[in-house]
Chain A
Amino acid sequence: MKNSIDQKSILQILSQAGMILILAATLGILVNEARPGKLSLWLTGGSEKQPVLGVETRMLISLDEAETRFLRDRALFLDARSPEIYKQAHIMRARNLPWEAFEQYIGTVMADIRRDRFIIIYCDGQTLSVSGDLAVALASRGYKNVHVLVNGWNLWLANELPIEAGTPAHARLREMDTQHGS
């Protein structure tokens, strides 16, 4: 009975494990390529159809619907980018809830927002997961009507939809509250 672990055994173990992995990779890739709605192996940015991991399909919203809701003022737009970028330009009437400082901002930004409000979150295409992360976080806080406009900022600009720059009134009030410690 062999009780020792020799080099041949180690080689056998590693080669068998390697073959299983190679076989699995081959099968996985072949099956993926053959199925409709395959997963993309090479994630790239810059399109509305890019998958936003962590976000359910029902949370995604098209540009057309987002524009319609904007024109009818039927949605709250949230900008998930940093405050510095938000101040340069953002979708008109959008509020800034930067994902990087979610806990710090959510109390003031969402203080007057009901849990059933229709919310549309956007960011730019270079930070894929930011709007998705924000959507998931808001959903976990009880906001039931949260949606993501994938690559929203770039699409909004490309379609010459209304934007504004600087700090909107509600944000200036928030800054004043913060400065006065309230």
Chain B
Amino acid sequence: MTSDHIFLWLTVFIAATVEMIEALTIVLALGITRGWRSALLATAAAIVTLGVVVTVFNSVFSKITGEGDVPILPLWILVGGILLIFGLQWMKKGILRIAGLLPSRDEEQIYNKLAKDAKGAPKSAKDSIDWYSFVMVFKGVLLEGFEVVFIVIIFGSARGQTVIGITAAVAALIFVGLLGVVIHKPLSKIPENWMKLTVGLLLTTFGTYFASEGVGIVWPLSDWALMYILVVYILFSVFIINFLRAGIRTKKTTRKRAA
């Protein structure tokens, strides 16, 4: 396994963990308040749907890129561009949340709201499927999982490494699932903001590398390019976060003095 395989596995694993944590909140809220049967059925249905999507897209891309052989360079530009756009969005949110400029996502608050809405919704007959619960969980798990599936497909189309992405996503699903079973409440203590920033950094690094290769750029020390791009982006992120935090502290001090 090379270093970029490890980075790829890590990127998908962390991205999938973040999304699965958000999906788990929905499953727990509906499962605890309205019963587990429909919630778990919906979760299984959503996971199967996502699996079908990965299989279909993977076979389409394999045909386009010639059964996983050397990929077409224009495809690398598109793939790199999409990874860059995704990565920068995650980085932006991660940086703003860690710096305190955006409120952090509160899983407990979301859980409480979902549970309150679920208690208020009309219930179905005892032995039939609770369609409210089923639709909410199916939609939630599908939407949260779709971003991970998209990342897996994108990496797979660029490098023919869908299997690595799939194993990472499945590992994250098992990890979060087990945590959910053991802890049995929303995972609010997990540092989601730092995980989002990490995924953003990795996606942006891969996007920069793939897109540049696609336009024909040759990186100096090509085997080490991914490493030094990532290091530069990490240093930059740390600098920007500290800079923004310092700015907020200065504003608060100025306001206190003015008051």
Whether A associates with B in a native complex is no
Which residues on A are within 8 Å of B, measured CB to CB?
Answer: none
